[in-house]
Amino acid sequence: MSLDAVLNRIDADLDAATDRLMQLLRIPSISTDPAFKSDCQVAADWLATELTGLGFDASVRPTPGHPMVVAHGGGDGPHVLFYGHYDVQPVDPLDLWHRDPFDPVIQDTPKGKVIRGRGACDDKGQLMTFVEACRAWKAETGTLPARVTVFFEGEEESGSPSLIPFLEENAEELKADIALICDTGLFDAETPAIVTQLRGLLGEEITITGPDVDLHSGMYGGIAMNPIRALTDILAGLHDENGVIQVPGFYDDVAEITPELKAQWDGLGFDGAGFLGEVGLAQPAGEAGRSALEMIWSRPTAEINGIWGGYTRDGFKTVLPSEAHAKVSFRLVSGQDPHKLRGSFRAWVRAQLPGDCEVRFGDHGASPAGHMDTTHPAFEIALAALSAEWPKPAAFIGCGGSIPVAGYFKSHLGMDALLAGFGKEDDAVHSPNEKYDLSSFHHGIRAWARILGGLSG
């Protein structure tokens, strides 16, 4: 059977595959820092060269920012688009790293061997699992079992400013039956997962102004409205005593998860108390009566991310400030329109504004949630492939965070995305001493090889 030969090839070639990943990890492709612009180009060129060597028609495409890499390979079978990003986060604070972030190494740990270095998990190690799966198929059969388009971005860690224009300009070339994204993680060390729900994100900044200038609290305290008081009164009413968000219409388009999905989540045995205990907390603060995973994956949230005003330095200054500020973010679920909710939130704030105060708002982005159509045959194929590589069966899960590219593929290319990744909670993504388990890299390659083989029928 071809698949068995491919899997054997992956096992035999693991050392060489790891060496290739190490080469990519040595390139300091930090997208947000202009000092590393040339390194981002080097990373894109390296990937294009690797893909060309595997028989792909690969090219590096310029953008106003960092380049994209696009490659086409295979022929018959379904058409898949694989997405990853080659850029990485900055390494600060450097003094917390145990070694040079761009001098990767294999380390023995009590939990097994790990690949240590910036980008090891996010996202170079993950994207290379797919490249190596393609390499194994080509080596054993001379071709790919499906039609494959590879799309690597170089600005994911800096907001993807070039992504949407590039998708719009190249939509016909990039459209496929389904997108594959490897930028997520396992549910736990023994349970692989496919993310089928991604929360969206709405960011708002509020500035409330009162008096023309800061006021002496001895002269004006008690008679003049303090903008901080006005702001905190409003924000204190954002949730009721049961954790329910009080913005009118906030839940109008929120649907309940299916009983089948809820049963699957309950069966994962997630320890909500332990999850909070790891950060020194004990009491869930979300909607009363919801499970921990519902709160994290399938319910919308409102959070105050920052608040400031008046005198905040050392010492004390008895002042009534002229302005008060806050940053508020909303995690959204499928069905919620971020632009509609922005209007509702702003109207709610204005309705509570006391006399002598004015408000202005700042827009910090708005992206809708993603909800994947799991009836596509690729999802069952992927469930089986992942289940064959880890001790426990794979599960459909949600993601509390946002991966905007999945939504962009839906809105701009009209296709769903299958998100399967192999990171672990202790990988220190975006932090010093980032790592990727060698077993995640190995089984990830094998999983993508199985998925490609399954898609071919």
Contacts for 343 with CB less than 8 Å, ≥ 6 apart? none
> What one-character-per-residue DSSP string does 401-431 give?
S--HHHHHHHHHH---EEE---B-GGG-TTS
Alpha helix (H) ranges present in 28-123? 37-53
Count the domains in the chain: 2
Q: Say whether both 68 and 193 belong to one domain.
A: yes
Domain presence at residue 277? no
Domain presence at residue 323? yes
Q: Say whether both 124 and 180 belong to one domain.
A: yes
Contacts for 61 with CB less than 8 Å, ≥ 6 apart? 67, 68, 69, 70, 166, 170
Q: Which of 177, 170, 117 is nearest to 146 (CA)?
A: 177
Domain presence at residue 449? yes
Amino acid at 89: Q
Q: Give the domain-ending residue among 367, 400, 417.
A: 367
Domain presence at residue 317? yes
Q: Which of 150, 175, 182, 180 is nearest to 52 (CA)?
A: 150
Q: Residue 329: left (phi > 0), alpha (psi -120 to 50), or beta?
A: beta
- Pairwise CA distance, residues 64 & 230, whole Å: 43
**Can the peptide bond before residue 123 be classed as cis, meaning omega within 30 degrees of 0?**
yes
Q: What angle do CA 412, 418, 423 make, to 5 degrees?
A: 120
Range of the domain at 243: 200-254+300-367
Report residue 325: phi and psi, to 5°.
-135, 150
Q: Residue 74: left (phi > 0), alpha (psi -120 to 50), or beta?
A: left
Domain presence at residue 40? yes
State the pLDDT at residue 457: 78
Q: What is the CATH number of the domain that holds 325?
A: 3.30.70.360
pTM comes to: 0.87
Domain presence at residue 170? yes
Is residue 251 exposed (0-12), middle (13-18) or buried (19+ Cβ within 10 Å)?
middle
Q: Say whether both 66 and 183 belong to one domain.
A: yes
Domain presence at residue 266? no
Q: 140-161 burial by CB neighbour count: b if 16+ within 10 A, else e? A: beeebbbbbbbbbbbbbbbebe
Amino acid at 242: N
Q: Say whether both 442 and 432 belong to one domain.
A: yes
Q: What is the CATH number of the domain that holds 24?
A: 3.40.630.10
Q: Say whether both 209 and 317 belong to one domain.
A: yes
Radius of gyration of the chain (CA): 24
Q: How far is CA 62 from the centre of its chain?
A: 24
- Partners of 105 in beta bridges: 116
Contact 309, 228 (CB under 8 A): yes
Q: Say whether both 16 and 84 belong to one domain.
A: yes
Q: Say whether both 333 and 422 belong to one domain.
A: no
Q: How far is CA 76 from the centre of its chain?
A: 32
Q: How far is CA 102 from the centre of its chain?
A: 23
Q: Say whether both 61 and 183 belong to one domain.
A: yes
Under DSSP, is residue 270 helix (H, G, I), strand (E, B) or coil?
coil
- Partners of 365 in beta bridges: none
Bridge pairing between strands 79-85 and 395-399: unpaired
**Can the peptide bond before residue 93 be classed as cis, meaning omega within 30 degrees of 0?**
yes
- Pairwise CA distance, residues 343 & 366, whole Å: 12
Under DSSP, is residue 372 helix (H, G, I), strand (E, B) or coil?
coil
Length of the chain: 457
Q: Say whether both 216 and 155 belong to one domain.
A: no
Q: Say whether both 51 and 9 belong to one domain.
A: yes
**What strands, in cross-sheet order, belong to the sheet with 435-437?**
105-109, 112-116, 435-437
Q: Give the domain-ending residue among 343, 367, 391.
A: 367
Domain presence at residue 286? no
- Pairwise CA distance, residues 257 & 260, whole Å: 8
Q: Say whether both 330 and 355 belong to one domain.
A: yes
Q: Which of 453, 444, 403 is nearest to 423 (CA)?
A: 444
Q: Which of 444, 445, 436 is nearest to 115 (CA)?
A: 436
Q: Which of 349, 350, 303 is nearest to 330 (CA)?
A: 303
Q: Say whether both 336 and 435 belong to one domain.
A: no
One pLDDT digit (tens) per residue for the chain, 457 residues: 699 999 999 999 999 999 999 999 999 999 999 999 999 999 999 999 999 999 999 999 999 999 999 999 987 889 999 999 999 999 999 999 999 999 999 999 999 999 999 999 999 999 999 999 999 999 999 999 999 999 999 999 998 999 999 999 999 999 999 999 999 999 999 999 999 999 999 999 999 999 999 999 999 999 999 999 999 999 999 999 999 999 999 999 999 999 999 999 999 999 999 999 999 999 999 999 999 999 999 999 999 999 999 999 999 999 999 999 999 999 999 999 999 999 999 999 999 999 999 999 999 988 888 889 899 999 999 999 999 999 999 999 999 887 889 989 999 999 999 999 999 999 999 999 999 999 999 999 999 999 999 998 7
DSSP 8-state assignment for residue 256: P
Q: Give the domain-ending residue among 346, 367, 388.
A: 367
